[in-house]
Amino acid sequence: MYDLAIIGAGWAGFNACLKAKQLGLKAVLIDKSFLGGTCLNLGCIPTKTLIQSAKVFNLVKKSSDFGINVSGAAIDFPKIQERKDKLIQQLRSGMQQMLKGLDYLNGQARLVSSQEIRVLEKTIRARNILIATGSKPYELAQFKFDAKKILSSNEIISLKEVPGSLLIIGGGVIGCEFAGLFSHLGTKVTLVEKMPQLLPGEDREVAKRIETAFKKKGIKVNTATDAAVFNLADFDIVLVCVGRKAQIENLGLEEAGVNLDQGAIAVDDYLKTSINNIYAAGDCTAKIMLAHFASYQGISAVCNLAYPDKHKAAASPCVPSCIFTDPEIASVGLSEDKARLSGRHITIHRFDFLGSGMARILGETEGLIKIISDAKTGVVLGAAIIGPRATELIGIFTLALARCLSIQDLRETIFAHPTLSESITEAIR
């Protein structure tokens, strides 16, 4: 009998398995598809790899601004896809090496009881079970995926050629990233979002900035608009990305007595399900659908089941959000609107990258840093960034929130010059 059986080898399950190994637990990892889950195979890694190729092409087109004359630059899309596939395989191989000494089964798992799992025509027994089966794209009834013209984010990363025109339904993180990607590659992009702003939930000022940046690039942005008004025949490809939902089909959850909550696995603050020895982590709990939060949950779940007398709630207000558009966007903690709605008296600190020496050196001056702090205590409540390396800079504010640092603490920190990070000092001067 295993100490722990983990169903799902994505970021939650994989990191949970490594934690189990570290704690000396006898564990087995089970997945019906590829090691690495959505993040490695269909999400974070492939999309960011494609985005980087598009950014390089865009930089080449602007090379004359840096005194470098390049002629004949052209997109080799099959080569771009080949690089993406090779990178995924390399990372997957690295993950396989890290699992040495642990059992890994590639097959569909189904709960038979609270301690039994049926997989590959045999029954696995475990004292504890962790479900980490991730999520899948949400499908709209009027825009059914057909893997030909109407695609989900799963299919669009494997296109054989760059489409001439693209309609993106959904102006959230996925939609905005693909809008920027294909716009750089020369596609005529139309982006439609039903809500009043792009990136619903993100800072309104930042959302307005990215909308302006998109329009400058020739992307047609339609907010507060129903996609039904568009004629799909006018576009080569239609990408539907209106969210994701928990992937929990054919797991035998109901038979095993695992309760669901609005289509996701219901868990308590410690990631325990309605069954005492069955836990769940990652997107299948529909909490915060981000790979780094899934990893955090997976590790937390293993610690909680390994040390039941030292349970620790798997909740954190310090979960950064990163969006790999051009310019990049990142945020953590409270936005300005949420901070005001909480009733707090706040102070807003801003710095525009136009004033940054390093931003000018990079040729990326679009955007700003925005910091929200408590007006009385000076404690940092949140931050939003749109601009160069925003996804890296947000780590500073994530640490500030995690350690309850104040604006004064940041003022007393020396940031190197010339760097983008010294913009934080300028924002709070």
Alpha helices in 202-311 (DSSP H): 204-216, 253-256, 291-306
Say which residue the tokens 């642990």 belong to: 102
Q: What are the φ/ψ torsions at residue 417 (nearest 5 degrees)?
A: -125, 140
CA distance 237 to 90: 30
Exposed/middle/buried for residue 183 (C-beta within 10 Å: 0-12, 13-18, 19+): buried
Other CB atoms within 10 A of residue 79 CB: 10
CA distance 129 to 125: 9
Q: Dig out the tokens for 268 from the structure.
A: 């308590």
Q: Dig out the tokens for 364 from the structure.
A: 């990326």
CA distance 411 to 307: 40
Say which residue the tokens 């959850």 belong to: 253
CA 64 to chain centre: 34
Residue 242: HSE in the Cβ half-sphere, 13 Å Cα cutoff: 18
Q: What are the φ/ψ torsions at residue 227 (nearest 5 degrees)?
A: -65, -15
Q: Would you mind telling me the total number of residues written for the chain in this entry?
A: 429
Q: Helix and strand tally (H, E) in the chain?
A: 14, 21
Say which residue the tokens 């949970």 belong to: 16
Other CB atoms within 10 A of residue 64 CB: 10
349 is catalytic: no
From the list 184, 292, 349, 417, the catalytic residue is 417
> In what helix (H) or strand (E) does residue 173 lie, and over which residues does it extend?
helix 173-184
Catalytic positions are 417
